[in-house]
Structure formats: C-alpha cells, structure tokens
Structure 1
Amino acid sequence: MPGSNARAIAKARTLPADAVVLDLEDAVAPEAKAEARAAIAAAMHEGGFGSRYRVVRTNALATEWGADDLASLAGVPIDAILVPKVDSASDVTALAKAMRDAGIAADVALWVMIETPLAVLNLAEIAASARQTPLAGFVLGLNDLAKDTGIAQLPGRAAFQPVLTQAVIAARAHGMIVLDGVCNSIEDEARFIAECEQARDGGFDGKTLIHPKQIDSANRVFSPGDAEVNEAQTIVAAFADPANAGKGALRIDGKMVELLHLYQAEKCLARADAARGRAIDAQVVESRG
C-alpha cells in the first residue's frame, strides 16, 4: 500500500492478509515522501492492524531518501523493514548499522528485495549475513530483475525458475522466510493462480500482492486443503501416541512416515491455523460494517 494514500492505509487494516507493506519507495513520488513518512508513523502508532505483520518498505540506503526513511521509523511499532536494491552481504551489514544508528528497535526484522543481477549472484552470501544481522526474509522483485536482465516475464516464468529456486534454497539455509514477487496481471486470475501454485510448490512462504482482489485467491492456494490437514492431523496424532514413543518411523495408512514428515505435518497445521485466523478476522471486520 502507498504510504502516501490514507484510504489505502485504512483499507489495509481490514484485509484478510498475513502482512501489510506500507511503501515509501516506488509507490510514493519524491515530493510526497516526507508526508508519507509522517502518515505511516501515525498509522502505526494508531494501530488497528490486528495480527497482520506490519512492514514498511523504505528507499534504498544509497538514495537521498533512505536515511531519512529509517530515521522516521525510530520508535514506530512495526515488525519489519523491507529494503530494495540490495546487492551484497556488505549492503545488509550497512543496513543493520543504519537501523541501529537510527534508533530502530532491536526486534524489528530486516527483509530485503532480491531484484538485481548482483543480488542473484550473491544470494548465498546475502543469506549468510542473517547470522550477524536482523536479516530475516527475502522478497523477490522480478519486475526490476526483468528490466535489468532482459528476461521476459512470460506465463509460467520458466526463465526465472532458477532464480526462484536458488532464492528459496538460500533463504532456507539460514532460517529465513521467502516471498514470491508480484503478478502484474491483475485481471488474469488464471495466470495469477498459476503463479501462486508455482510459488507454493516451489517452497515459498507466500506471494506479494499489488491489489486487494488478489488476496482471496492467494489465501486459497497457500492454505492447506481438508485432505492435507486430515493427513497432517493423523501423522501428529500417531507420533503423539504413547505406544509410539521414541520411534523415528511409523507406518501410517500404508505409508512409511518419519520424523521429517512430522515436522512437515506440524507446519501444515500451523498454516491451517493461520488461515482460520484470517477468516475470523475477516468475519469480525464484516460484522463491524
């Protein structure tokens, strides 16, 4: 949501999304950035975002606005800062220092956009910097990457598949979340759903969205279905059975199930709980009119 758009910020409090990103970068004109900073700070202090993860996307630190963006977030109750145009691990280190110098709370996470050719080449090193910095997430920026490389964003995104996979592997190697890039085809629901399914099956935690009308489809794709939930519950219950205490592998419904499958089952049930939470939030908002 553009940080300069009061209606959009108000709308963000009602959307059945897991996270809301208030933008100070591309969505805000240079002459409106100061006003947007103040509006975002005021909105975050006002609250009302419920369980939604609160993220602010700043301008890159190297721009004329980056330092002021960070300074405006000192003492502001947010969960993460998303920074674009990060090329290397040294950029992440510089951002971590800038966040500290700006007085941003130590528990605010750092997310970075993976959207430049150098960032792709340096994925492993960037991810490894999470060991010494607040870095906690990757967000793919395929629009900028397409612009800089000439790779076409065609349906299916076959040419980008190596980048998508490497980003997931690098993030997982260091315990980070990773979100797929946006789909620009707002009116092409079939293409959007296909991208969501590709991202889900490719290991992404979710997909970044550019319009509220994309939320319901994304939630359906990334939320586990009834059959998946039932299977996960069966696996969790089997390992919890005292008769199976200490066992590392069980035969369940004709399948060999190991502890790694228990871990996957627990993650599935956590996603199902999150989906139910979104639905409850949406019902509460609707009941309030």
Structure 2
Amino acid sequence: MRPRRSVLYMPGANERALEKARSLPADALILDLEDAVAPDAKPAARERVCAAATSGGYGDREVTIRVNGRGTPWHEDDLAAVAAAGPDAVVVPKVNSVEEVHAIERALAAAPDRTKIWAMIETPVAVLRCAEIAAASERLTVLVLGTNDLAKELLADQVPGRAPLLGPLSTCVLAARATGRVILDGVYNDVRDDVGFAQECLQGKQFGFDGKTLVHPGQIGPCNRTFAPSEQDVAHARRVIEAFAAAQAHGRGVATVDGRMIENLHVENARRVLALAEAVANLA
C-alpha cells in the first residue's frame, strides 16, 4: 500500500519551487506543465521537470508530471519527454474516453513499466464514463478529480460543503472502487481558510477518497493527518481483529467490540487501516 494522502501541485517553471519540494512532507508531487506555466515558458519547463523527476532528489515521494492536454500544441512533445524521463506517473488533464487512455498508452510505449497513468476527471462526460476510463488500461492506476474545471463545466456554484458536486464526487468514488483504482479529491482554492480546508479534507475522507490534491505547502500537514489513521483508529482496528479471532476460536462468526457487532467485513477494513498506518509510518 502506497499512501497518497497529500499530492501537491508544483509549478514546473519555478526552479525554486521544484527545489523546495525536495523537503516537503507531501506523499506525492505533481510537477505541473499545464496551468502553472505560461505558453512561452512551456518548453523550458518541460526540460526542467523531466530533469527534476529523474534526479533522485525527492526521496520516497512519488514524483509525477502533469502534461498539457490533448489538442494543445505541447501535448505530444510533453508525452514523448515524459516517456523518456520515466517518472512515477504522467498526469493527463481532461481524459474523456477510453480511446484517449489508449492513445496515452501508445505514447508511453517506450516508457518504463513504473511510469503509470493518472487520469484527471474534469468534465461531465468524464464523470459519466468514469468507470470505463478507469478500467481502460492496467497502466492507469489513479483518478484525479479536477473539481474547479468540473464546477465550471456544470455551471455550478463553488460553495462550502460542495453540494452541487456531491453527485459527481460519489459517482467517481464508485468507479474507482469498482475498478480497483486510487482516487484523489480536487484542490481547495482558498489557502488562507484553514477551517474550510480541514472540513473539505474530512468530507473527502468520509466519501472514500484516498487523498487530496493541494495547491500550497501549508495544506500538507492537515491533509496528512486527516487521511491517515489516527491512534484511536489503529487501536480500534487491533481490538476488532483480536475480538474476531477470539470469537472464531470459540466457533462463532461474529464478535462484539465497543457494543457493536463485528463481522468479517469489519476485520477486512481493520486490516486495511493497519496496513495504511504501517505504510505511513514507513514514510516518516
């Protein structure tokens, strides 16, 4: 299990930011060639992020590169450069169909097997096809919600609690779980609103997201804490496993922990909690 609690976008044109990212406690980085880079700076940024991704200077962090989208003048050159560099993944914006996934696969034919596809789900059609997109390739391992673009396409207001987006968010989580993919929640734009950010992290965790994409280093700590099992979660998971084992030893298929009935499905979830806690501890 690889934790992806916090996934931070870093502007590919900013050499200082790329250097700073080496010491940030994010689980993963997205070195961005798309929104964060002006058109005339994109070729130089492409060389910079590919060199950074292959430098070995980011420790255990997962290092990915977000390319420019299909139909832009930079898309094909970006994919070719990423294939040659071989980062942990290529993040592709506005993936809308199985055919687009297959085209990305072909562009990565010369890339090492370790270079996976992270598909961004940012449009209504992508939400409706999310399960098909997720299942289109074994190389596709992560879905990334682009909630800003999705809200724009839906003509939806971006409000506290995200009520207009709850249906699409739930649909995409369902698609990820049905296909065995990781799914990351979208960004929170107001970097000064600590309370709102904390609430949205908790909402994402409750929905079943594996982690959240971030736009500022100050968001990393709260995000890591929310998406990691707490000490109480770990203690409860251990009690569940122990109680169920004791029940089975006496020929029973259920147990009781803290007044609640425990079945095998609760044991599976408890094991997942402990595995995630161990994986997080190994990053420290």
TM-score clears 0.5: yes
Superposed displacement of residue 253, structure 1: 4.3
* Residue 260 (str. 1) matches residue 269 (str. 2): no
Alpha-carbon distance in 2 for matches of 1:6, 1:241: 56
- Identity between Structure 1 and Structure 2 (%): 47
Match of 1:5 among 14, 20, 34: 14
Contact 1:168 1:203 in 2 (8 A): yes
* Residue 109 (str. 1) matches residue 109 (str. 2): no
Q: What residue is the counterpart of 1:31 in the other structure?
A: 40
**Cα deviations across residues 49-84 of structure 1 (Å, max 9, x unaligned)?**
111111111111322111101111234242111100
Q: TM-score, normalised by structure 2?
A: 0.90
Q: What residue is the counterpart of 1:46 in the other structure?
A: 55
Superposed displacement of residue 123, structure 1: 1.6
Would you say how many aligned residue pairs link Structure 1 and Structure 2?
Answer: 275
**Residues 244 and 148 of structure 1, relative CA distance in 2, 3 Å threshold:** same
Q: What residue is the counterpart of 2:203 in the other structure?
A: 198
Counterpart residue type for residue 161 of structure 1: L
Superposed displacement of residue 43, structure 1: 1.3
Query: Where does 1:177-192 land on structure 2 (aligned, <5 Å)?
Result: 177-192=182-197
**Cα deviations across residues 98-132 of structure 1 (Å, max 9, x unaligned)?**
221xx2112311111110121112222212314xx
Q: What residue is the counterpart of 2:277 in the other structure?
A: 272
* Residue 211 (str. 1) matches residue 216 (str. 2): yes
Counterpart residue type for residue 52 of structure 2: A
The structure, 1 or 2, with the larger RCO (C-alpha pairs under 8 Å, 6+ apart) is 2
Match of 2:27 among 18, 23, 32: 18
Counterpart residue type for residue 154 of structure 1: V
Q: What residue is the counterpart of 1:56 in the other structure?
A: 65
Contact 1:112 1:139 in 2 (8 A): yes
Q: What residue is the counterpart of 2:106 in the other structure?
A: 97
Q: What SS does the aligned partner of 2:136 have?
A: helix
- List alignment gaps of at least 5 residues for structure 1: 281-289
**Residues 140 and 245 of structure 1, relative CA distance in 2, 3 Å threshold:** farther
Q: What residue is the counterpart of 1:118 in the other structure?
A: 125
Alpha-carbon distance in 2 for matches of 1:276, 1:264: 18
- List alignment gaps of at least 5 residues for structure 2: 1-9
**Cα deviations across residues 242-276 of structure 1 (Å, max 9, x unaligned)?**
97399753334443222221221122122322433
Q: What SS does the aligned partner of 2:203 have?
A: helix
**Residues 52 and 261 of structure 1, relative CA distance in 2, 3 Å threshold:** same
Superposed displacement of residue 135, structure 1: 1.1
* Residue 224 (str. 1) matches residue 224 (str. 2): no
Alpha-carbon distance in 2 for matches of 1:240, 1:24: 51
